[in-house]
Structure 1
Amino acid sequence: MLLTKIARSWSLSQTRYYCIPGMILLVLGLLAGCGKKETTTKKTPSAQPVTAATATAKNVELFYDTLGMAVASESVDISSQVSGQIMTSPFTQGSMVQKGDLLFEIYKPPYEASLLEAKGSLAQAEAELEINQLNVDRNRSLVPQKLISEQDFQAMQATVKENLAAIETARGQVLSAEVNLGYTDIISPINGMVGIYNVNVGNIVTGMDGTTLTTVQKMDPMYIDFILPVPKFAELRKYFDEANQSLNIRAAYLSDPSKSREAPMTILGNEVSDQTGTVNLRATMKNPDGFFWPNQPVSVRVFLKELKDSVLVPSAAVSTGQSGQFVFVIGDGNTVTQTSVTVGQKQDDGNVVIYKGVKKGDKVVTDGQLMIRTGSKVKITKLDGKATSAATTSSTTSTSSDSGKTDSKQGS
């Protein structure tokens, strides 16, 4: 029993001996942990790198884009009005021709013979008239003397009238023969570009059967036909009236938008298509060099109004959230603010019109929006497409670093 009490007493003394250093280490650890936590809480967050752009202001066009087609201002299908064999076709396919140029020649002799016959009939009728008129003149004085009956004299006068009618008929036949002979020379009725041969030399054509021998299309001026849906047409009419019935369009190649020309809009459609709900419109464009071709599809931009001093920012700066469209504006100290904006039309250079929310000179974030919110600090790495100077970046970094050191000292 005595030995058991001695062992238990020694064990308790050993436990107290080892516990005291452990408690000291625990207290020191807690104190060290508290100091570190305070320093981390007060550390300044690093600035988020972003690209930015400066809002500008200039005059821009309000416009509407659609598709259209270049159409010849005059197009004539050439056909024969008389029957016969095609003897010649002296034009070059695809060449420019003038009004009156010979395109085809029909075999002439049958029509020349018809003209000679008609002229002969006219001469015969004129001779008969002359004889019968002389007969009337000789017998007129004999009627009062009762040397010729009134009835016979009236018959002579009726014969003269018949001769006059025969002459008119003969003259008509001559004119008809001359016209038919003239139709054997098929000429261009307009200035324009002639197409290909649809019927070659040597073929027999039938007059007035509708066969198209070739086509001539007037290239200058050229019509630009396009369509607008009814809602846009109502808007167009408003701007058309405001502009004193004077709006311009720009037509461009679909394959190369840089190839374009402008022209005044000349015709407003007079009805709405019941099938498509659109209105046909037309502009008249000068085309002396054949810049546009008949039936060529084109893109059409209708200029509605010039917007004075419009604020512009890159379209990449505009984001869309639950409350609508917004941008991040960079303010003093490179702190950003989320600002709601009213957005207008996107321009060809990638900028977009801002009606409300941004003013000229404001700096807006164009890349890096996902990592920031109102109150965030940012570091501009590019401004208006140009990298910022190393000095600016270094200064910004140094400022952030100094702030962190100060906070650490305060925490300590």
Structure 2
Amino acid sequence: MTNNVMAVTRKDFDNVMVPNYAPAAMIPVRGQGSRVWDQADNEYIDFTAGIAVSCLGHCYPPLVATLQQQSQKLWHVSNLLTNEPALRLARKLTKATFADKVFFANSGAEANEAALKLARRYALDKFGDGKDQIIAFNKGFHGRTFFTVTVGGQSSYSDGFGPKPGAIDHVDFNDLAAVEALMSDKTCAVMMEPLQGEGGINAANQQFLIGVRALCDKYNALLIFDEVQTGVGRTGTFYAYQHTDIKPDILTSAKGLGAGFPIAAMLTTGNIAKSLSVGTHGSTYGGNPLACSVAEVVVDTINNDDFLAQVKVKSAIFKEALTQINNQYAIFSDIRGDGLLLGAELNEQYQGQAIAIMNQAAQDGLLILVAGANVLRFTPALNIPEDDIHAGMKKLSQAIEKWLAA
């Protein structure tokens, strides 16, 4: 039996796909490391890594090998049974973090949904009815399920779908006084990204985190860290909370955890985990052997002092190159972020032009991202070669020069 390989073009997207995305004109067909090639064999340097997902680049040989090996053993068994890769991965994640227990899912939104449900259920179990308020932050992003998109602090993503889940309040990021004003014995959880990705590469400051942790302790509320984008080495530590002096009660992880293979995890303590008893939550594919075998290799590779040290070195190279571009073109007001989750904010003269620069860069063979209308976002593979960083920055400089001249 042979597969019939059908020729497709970008026009087919418009004909057969739901129009909730607006993908680029080119279609990538293969990748290796930090480079990809399209249908016309044009080459691109990839500073996106699939939005912080392909953390070891494209077709990383050890990941290819483990996926091939596991594919010949066991694909799926359902959660009526457990499996060896899932158990090994859970042990490695708990050993590497504050957590005692792990729940596996398929995406960051699913992990965040589980975290929010757990927080509400734990509050009910421990304190009874009425303790259901969730506090989150403006410009936050936590996924696209109706619960997570409502907790996310960008109403444009949640408007237009009918009545929203209730008892959710938002305040500005890094505004401890605003959090304190909202919190009470009715608060069951505070949810945040330690470094907001989608919202503009905005980092939580240390005193803010310490203050929120203290308020959660005072009011018996859980602190949930959404580390879907910041986790698995992205900021230079295995999880971003490890930069700080605090620990969350629940942490969510996805994106880089599977390096391109769909997997997510919610991590928490043994005491809190008890509230998700048998039958309270589930996932058909969560914890499947294929995904967990890949994630095992990812964790083994990245949760390593030498590997994490080179993430910080490459971060410095990125920041220096962006600074040099800014010295030449005076286009950025700020260059910020940690590790290889970086943002360059456009100054007042170029407000709203991030997407236009991203598109020009793609025409010149460089894939970058935006974080809102005014911030260029860079989330390359954590093992990107330094030569590719320099080559990509040269392309970015050329793209900015062309865009300014247009």
- Range class of TM-score, shorter chain: under 0.3
Q: TM-score, normalised by structure 2?
A: 0.21
Which one has a larger percent helix, Structure 1 or Structure 2? 2
Who wins on radius of gyration, i.e. which is larger? 1
